[in-house]
Amino acid sequence: MRKIFRKNNKKNKKMINKTSIYTIILIPFIFFGCAPKEKIESPDTAQTYEKPGTVEAEITPRSDDLAIIRKEEATPSKETDAQKIYTDLWVMIQDGLILERNIDNKKVKDKIAWFARNQEYINRVVKRAEPYLYHIVNKIKERDMPLDLVLLPVVESAYQPFALSPSRASGIWQFIPATGKRFGLKQNWWYDGRRDVVAATDAALNYLEALHKRFKGDWFHALAAYNAGEGNVERAIRKNKKKGKKIDFWNLRLPPETRSYVPSLLAIAEVLKNNDKYNIKFNKIKNEPYFEIIDVESQIDLATVADLSNLTMDEIYTLNPGFNRWATDPNGPHQLVIPITKSKEFKTRLKKLPKSKRIVWKQHIISKGESLGLIAEKYKTSISAIKESNNLKGNLIREGKSLLIPTAKESNKYYSLSADSRRFRDLKTSDGKQYTYIVKRGDNLWDISRKYGVSVKQLARWSGISTKSFLRPKQKLTIWIKEEESNASNQTKAIANNLPDSDYVVKEGESLWLIARRFDIHVVEILEWNNLKKNTPIQPGQILKMHLSKKNEEESRDAIVLSNQKITEYVVKKGDSLWLIARRFDIHVVEILEWNNLKKNTPIQPGQILIIQKVLSDA
């Protein structure tokens, strides 16, 4: 037994020794094999890579395992947007595009093809967008909205801050007056918030957020509603539901412009995302602030701003396109957008400038027969500015008294992009109201039409060319622009801002509706004051009694509301269509047809009166 025990004891010792040896050998493998992978960040690329363990495994891996390991070693882990550092805003936008682009859809394909063969157009858009892009990108990111929306002004206005559509939509976000007011954009003689890039961007994003919520998170429906009005999109959805049809954007019956609108946005997004594929270049825009918003606290002449900032008038107006005239609005906003490179110098100089020198003042002695309206017209200022400067509560002024008038520091031509200067910029005078535009390299009909607030069809018709014509540099185009009716407006202001009871002399071509519109009153009131029956014709030279109460100075309206009726009479203008009118009033074309007993595709004529069964605060 002792022999057996000793023998077994020797065997056990050998086994223990072998186990210990194996354990000692395996410890390094266990230790290093279980160690976490070390992360290394490349300073050049700012990307995170995973470094595998440094000790090789004892067992040789299978070939497919080796392929996986090599693939993991070769491929860096994907970065989040927060980690990635962008120097080019277009690259940031590329990475932030999230909307499904539907590139197999025919309309999207056609739009992609158009963008892909128009590098010059892209270049112009990029150049126009440069001052605004950083601000807009960051405002969208703050709200956690899709960066695809940065491209919406490309579709709306080609990033032209002074773009004006035939339906009176204005600015890079193309707000019509009523929608602009609905979202808090001030509009008056001095200032139009629809063109103020900072104010309009906030308003546009508020509107898009509201639409996104209203259409239960469907961005395509929201975008269609931004273009056509939410009422039109909701009606189209209801009709499809009733018929058991699909209610996605692609299956809705919407106006032709809207059916092309969303595909245009998707197309430019696709071309940007895969610009190498389409051989299109987006010139770099630095990912850094371009401008600073400075509160100047009171009215200031824009010529003085140019002097203090060493900027040209074109640069001042391009960064501050909301200002219509030679100065900021007396009642605000008093914010100016100044390039970062000039802002420090501007603030220093502004601080040293006495407030009395911000505006040039002139003393005016009131002559017999003058009114605040006539005086305002003479000095290119507003009635409200004169009243505020002279502490006037009413509109009555007396001969021989003096008024202090805020006036422009320079001549009208100096204010190169004011509302008056823009109206005829780049135009050569021809006969009457006809003007000639000389085509420049890179011009197209759409850009030119938006610049002067006409339609492409009108521009093509006036110039005797096709809407699809290619333009040649130095080619001449004909443009018709309505002149300001200075004599009529002078008389209007003289009456409206003088005695409450006055006479008005009818001019050739006028109607009761035009006169009522000019004075912001109802036709019914003119009929009552002059004991006239409805539809009574009036003659040039006829005198009408005008019993006018104090009126606020507003822009003239395109429609009037008849008293005691929820009906609006709309007078069709040249270039109008039923779709444009429906969009303006946020109604459907079918409703206009029903209210006016018209058949589908019935042509409408300038001067024709249409009934709109909706009371509006502003059209």
77 Rama sector, left if φ>0, alpha if ψ -120 to 50, beta otherwise:
beta
CA distances from 280 to 23, 117, 277 (A): 64, 8, 8
Burial of 17: CB neighbours in 10 Å, binned 0-12, 13-18, 19+: exposed
Position 302, amino acid? L
- Distance (Å, whole) CA 400 – CA 260: 62
Burial of 34: CB neighbours in 10 Å, binned 0-12, 13-18, 19+: exposed
Burial of 306: CB neighbours in 10 Å, binned 0-12, 13-18, 19+: buried
Scan for tokens 């401008």, then name that residue: 291
Backbone angles phi, psi at 553, to 5 degrees: -75, 115
- Say which residues have a Cβ less than 8 Å from residue 368's Cβ, sequence separation at least 6: 399
Judge whether 125 and 74 are in contact, CB under 8 Å: no
Return the structure tokens found at 344: 């420090």
Scan for tokens 């093809």, then name that residue: 113
Q: Which of 56, 58, 73, 156 is catalytic?
A: 156
DSSP letter at 55 equals S
Q: Could you confirm whether 483 is annotated as catalytic?
A: no
The CA angle 205-208-213, to the nearest 5 degrees, is: 125
Exposure pattern of 579-590 as b/e (b: 16+ CB <10 Å)?
A: bbbbbbbbbbbe
Beta strands in 16-132 (DSSP E): 38-41, 48-51
Position 562, amino acid? L
Report residue 232 CA to chain centroid gap.
21
- Distance (Å, whole) CA 35 – CA 26: 14
- Distance (Å, whole) CA 536 – CA 111: 52
Judge whether 583 and 554 are in contact, CB under 8 Å: no
Scan for tokens 């919406």, then name that residue: 152
User: Which are the catalytic amino acids?
Assistant: 156
